[in-house]
Chains A and B, each alone.
Chain A
């Protein structure tokens, strides 16, 4: 079975500052990694994903994440955040089965202020 740990439940940051949201995972098999964003009372939107290949992946809204196999991490970063980035961010993993389950972390609330 796989698990996901998001170490920070909340991350306050000022607008235009850089941010990193941490994610660590554990699994006995190869996994695919995802970051999702959730705005209030909405479903989840895919930010980016790592399947294979380059360990640095770029997503929407200026976010990027780096897969580090030795540290089993997949931290999300953005060099300059905006007020509109305020939301809940979830890291998730799934195995390679075609209908395999997504396992979510507990989420990180990114709060951007002026």
Chain B
């Protein structure tokens, strides 16, 4: 079945630095990628939707300049957390929609800790 590979699985960075998270669709083309953020013991909150070859669509309240999304090819979407702060520490998950009958395929998530 469809697989989305997400890297890194864990990252610790210092305040003020930037971190890039990659999601690759391994055996299918993902023209759309959804990026979610999940706080401990909470649900997934959609941050933005990336579309190959065009600008990402951000949900209300999500800072575009802080969470940079790039979808340069049909198999790769990236999320860069710029000038990270401790409050950005969270679990980030990407997801690509499969065929309408197949639901979505999720990456394995990235645990970001900003110290």
A interface residue numbers (CB < 8 A to B): 32, 34, 36, 41-46, 49, 51, 90, 94, 96, 98-102, 104-107, 109
Q: For this complex, into which size category does the number of interface residues on chain B fall?
A: 20 to 34
Q: Is the CB of A43 within 8 A of B97?
A: no
| CB < 8 Å neighbour of B108 from A43, A90, A105, A109 | A43
| 20 chain-A/chain-B pairs, Cβ below 8 angstroms | A32-B103, A34-B103, A41-B91, A41-B111, A42-B109, A43-B6, A43-B93, A43-B95, A43-B106, A43-B109, A44-B95, A46-B103, A49-B101, A90-B44, A94-B104, A98-B97, A101-B34, A101-B46, A102-B104, A107-B43
Closest to A90 in B: B43
Q: How far is the CB of B49 from chain A (nearest CB, A)?
A: 7
CA of A17 to CA of B27, assembled, Å: 39
| Contact pattern, B 81-104, Cβ under 8 Å of A = 1, otherwise 0 | 000000000010101010011011
Closest to A91 in B: B43
Closest to B109 in A: A43
CA of A109 to CA of B108, assembled, Å: 19
